Structure 1
């Protein structure tokens, strides 16, 4: 009998799980100066690239797979030996849920950027609008939540427009110096070329970004040799490294990286439960007693009839005294404690959210009638953790606008030096507005009509004021309740809604 559910086994997707990750999978590359990279035909750079492909990319691949429900442990575990046994592989993309919550909480409401000078503010706003920075920030935070790191590249295009784009974490790394400040001295982008020859050996275009120029090398493979050949070098005019790295924390760990083992355990117990439920249906049927197959059918034909019709019809025999003998049929299957299994799954489910510091919004405690203060206490642990990520994110954001302002020193049409940009994050959370309004009202603090209108989701303050003014001009009694206003069903005209 063929194994069920072959598609879900993911055969061929993964050779083996890369978890737990080695220390080398997430180290920062450090040098004394840029001269260390350029010496001996960039021999050290070549070693870094080989190390990046061999040690760091596998970790990124596993984290990426867990965000897509392609969990490596459940898909790489050995197949069951018996061909007739179910072999489900139930993967659960907790990684996606956790990463989306982190990115949604912090950047779904666009980050606000402010500069003291009005002209500089206009320049920043124009740059942000042209580059859809709100979307970029959300993508960066999603990568930070997944990988613990993210990268953006700033550049000027052929039309002298200032651009900033997300750079793939699988293709990018930054090299820092050995000082206590840990200053970035170079950035590397490795873009894979399309293999038109189907050679099976991927090649990459390598670009080394320094504080002054972009150095391009001859195409390489993942097993780059001891040196590299330069084919082009062009200035970029930024006076600083145009690749900016974003980190989740000082260790660059992803938000669900610490709970991968729990996700694996949840996948395993859920898959085993599915296998058991399927195996029960295909349990071994045992027939005992003195019986004959009906109509002279053989045993093999009897088994086929049972599978086809699901009905067992047996004719009992007789003993030597002429008494009818008994026939019994029952299925044999392993015992399974469903209650214990369910409790175990629920405990794992709870632990995944608890230990990742991400609130489980499907929990009954997140009811619609919970107070605003109560909701904030439920996400207190998450807010402590996200504060660390946001603070790190802000430091990288400041480098983005420092780069933007640095162009003026080398380009006559560059922007004026942008001062310190303040980035304000607004958590994307439901707020108990009615409680806050009631608190201010009880304290005797008046609220403007504009503010009151802004708290509603169905109207705009300016339009509503215009509508009110128009109704006043028409002499409509605005104090009259709408329930007392009647309309002529034929003409649609308003008629007297008072008592006759």
Structure 2
């Protein structure tokens, strides 16, 4: 059984990992007829599913995680060079991190907006979002979706009696999966969290806790070891969510990561970059060939100084040789040169650049380091450059919205089941705002040239340093202060005028 929790702690090993391409079994959805099928024969089917998840699905997630950390498995697992004196660099490039961060940043850096018609329900949604820092949670979920093609969140309650609170947290993909039914709707029947228990005693035996979440209860099993054996129930607790409280988020219907399709290109880029580094080092350590008739200096031990000659070259970088003489007494010639392996640096650089462009093109993620992404580009030009990405991200956003809807369905259920709760939550409208630079000045100029009026509040909202409501309040205060100042000036003038008249009368 694999150590499913080590990846979250960043101590997973890159060696011995499964290789790309992944098998079909590494990304299948688990489906059963009903919950009774899972519970039959002391959860024997559930045991098989857990074993399959750890053996077939976790290795794929591990590889995807490593490509986001620059621990690319292919370049680090390739065979060492046979020549002992040859350089053997392994240059890994974390394109996975760049791609995943762009996807998460584009979609969730501007906080997702949640709106519901009922004011009281809106207040509860806002309170729930603030308490659970949903802004950060959405970003973490989208980052996992971009990396693994899937992400999970768990809702639960903590506290006692009236002090209880509704919580939602990210659940690690290495320890979570959902089981669906066989219908066309693919309804979730149950979800599983298998968490490795830290071995404080140092016994070396790996133990795991297993929790099964159904639509009505949480079943906790006795800790298991590598040999799972039979699952034994030790706790059975109702949760009142009326649905499985673990929600799965997908990148698309195939649950593929955003850089999963370009791993082979990343491997090729790693290989050619590493080979270039090896060549540059090997040139420095090239073979020195000396030809001709020469006398090697005598070493300190009085023996042949060939070794001394080599040491002098390494230490001082200077080669001093004395030539011999032919039978006629003429000096013989000596030649010394390095033998370098042939290497077409231009072709190598062109190949690297082509791979670099292909990685971004095939993943549909724009290469922001490209010179075409200049600050002088118009807003329309920028949108055309990311047109392919916007077509692909639409699938991810639509899938994400469906899962967000389930989040607030669960919140509505638990609220309705508790004392003082609402009968039912209405539909929560979810709005994504792309995190993109917009050419606001162009759009404003276009509207003004067309004679379309813009309110002062709208104009304030287009700037990054003002808030419309605050600015309106500030203006009102300034206008009020201005009127007060004018009235005071008028009163002072009137008082001075009356004072002058009184003096004249005297």
Relative to 1, partners in 2 of residues 1:375 and 1:262: Cα closer, same or farther, differing over 3 Å? same
Q: 1:160 pairs with 160, 164, 180, which one?
A: 164
Q: Distance in 2 between matches of 1:469 and 1:404?
A: 42
Residue in structure 1 matched with residue 503 of structure 2 by the alignment: none
1:222 Cα deviation (Å)? 3.9
Q: Look up the SS of the partner of 2:179 in the other structure.
A: strand
Q: Distance in 2 between matches of 1:128 and 1:362?
A: 35
Q: Look up the SS of the partner of 2:174 in the other structure.
A: coil
Q: Distance in 2 between matches of 1:413 and 1:459?
A: 40
> Which deviations, in whole Å up to 9, do the C-alpha atoms of 1:95-132 show, x marking residues without a partner?
00000000000011010000011111101001000000
TM-score normalised according to structure 2 size: 0.88
Kindly indicate whether residue 368 of structure 2 is the aligned counterpart of residue 361 of structure 1.
yes
Residue in structure 2 matched with residue 486 of structure 1 by the alignment: none
Relative to 1, partners in 2 of residues 1:18 and 1:337: Cα closer, same or farther, differing over 3 Å? same
Q: 1:190 pairs with 186, 194, 199, which one?
A: 194
Relative to 1, partners in 2 of residues 1:463 and 1:216: Cα closer, same or farther, differing over 3 Å? closer
Aligned length: 465
Unaligned runs of 5+ in 1: 1-9, 476-500
RMSD of Structure 2 on Structure 1 (CA): 2.0
Larger Rg: 2
Q: 2:354 pairs with 347, 357, 360, which one?
A: 347
Q: 2:279 pairs with 276, 300, 306, which one?
A: 276
**29-38 or 446-455, which deviates more:** 446-455
1:15 Cα deviation (Å)? 2.3
Residue in structure 1 matched with residue 3 of structure 2 by the alignment: none
1:453 Cα deviation (Å)? 2.9
Q: Distance in 2 between matches of 1:37 and 1:164?
A: 26
1:283 Cα deviation (Å)? 0.6
Relative to 1, partners in 2 of residues 1:115 and 1:471: Cα closer, same or farther, differing over 3 Å? closer
Kindly indicate whether residue 263 of structure 2 is the aligned counterpart of residue 260 of structure 1.
yes
Kindly indicate whether residue 252 of structure 2 is the aligned counterpart of residue 249 of structure 1.
yes
Residue in structure 2 matched with residue 114 of structure 1 by the alignment: 115
1:263 Cα deviation (Å)? 0.4
Residue in structure 2 matched with residue 440 of structure 1 by the alignment: 447
Residue in structure 2 matched with residue 57 of structure 1 by the alignment: 58
Asked if 2 retains the 8 angstrom alpha-carbon contact of 1:53 and 1:222, the reply is: no
Residue in structure 2 matched with residue 497 of structure 1 by the alignment: none
Q: 1:169 pairs with 169, 173, 192, which one?
A: 173
Asked if 1 retains the 8 angstrom alpha-carbon contact of 2:297 and 2:306, the reply is: no
1:200 Cα deviation (Å)? 3.4
Residue in structure 2 matched with residue 127 of structure 1 by the alignment: 128
Q: 1:65-214 alignment to 2 at 5 Å? A: 65-158=66-159, 159-214=163-218
> Which deviations, in whole Å up to 9, do the C-alpha atoms of 1:25-70 show, x marking residues without a partner?
0001100000010000000000000000000000000000000000
Asked if 1 retains the 8 angstrom alpha-carbon contact of 2:17 and 2:63, the reply is: no
Asked if 2 retains the 8 angstrom alpha-carbon contact of 1:50 and 1:223, the reply is: no
1:293 Cα deviation (Å)? 3.4
Asked if 1 retains the 8 angstrom alpha-carbon contact of 2:14 and 2:66, the reply is: no
Residue in structure 2 matched with residue 371 of structure 1 by the alignment: 378
Relative to 1, partners in 2 of residues 1:222 and 1:50: Cα closer, same or farther, differing over 3 Å? farther
Q: Look up the SS of the partner of 1:218 in the other structure.
A: strand
Q: Distance in 1 between matches of 2:325 and 2:96?
A: 65
1:416 Cα deviation (Å)? 4.4
Relative to 1, partners in 2 of residues 1:407 and 1:17: Cα closer, same or farther, differing over 3 Å? closer
Q: Distance in 2 between matches of 1:469 and 1:409?
A: 45
Q: Distance in 1 between matches of 2:199 and 2:247?
A: 29
Q: 2:321 pairs with 276, 293, 314, which one?
A: 314
Residue in structure 2 matched with residue 400 of structure 1 by the alignment: 407
Q: Distance in 2 between matches of 1:402 and 1:471?
A: 48
Q: Look up the SS of the partner of 1:303 in the other structure.
A: helix
Q: Look up the SS of the partner of 1:215 in the other structure.
A: strand
Residue in structure 1 matched with residue 464 of structure 2 by the alignment: 457
1:464 Cα deviation (Å)? 5.2
Residue in structure 1 matched with residue 234 of structure 2 by the alignment: 231
Q: 2:396 pairs with 368, 386, 389, which one?
A: 389
Q: Distance in 2 between matches of 1:90 and 1:135?
A: 32
Kindly indicate whether residue 39 of structure 2 is the aligned counterpart of residue 38 of structure 1.
yes
Residue in structure 1 matched with residue 5 of structure 2 by the alignment: none
Asked if 1 retains the 8 angstrom alpha-carbon contact of 2:175 and 2:193, the reply is: yes
Q: Look up the SS of the partner of 2:453 in the other structure.
A: coil
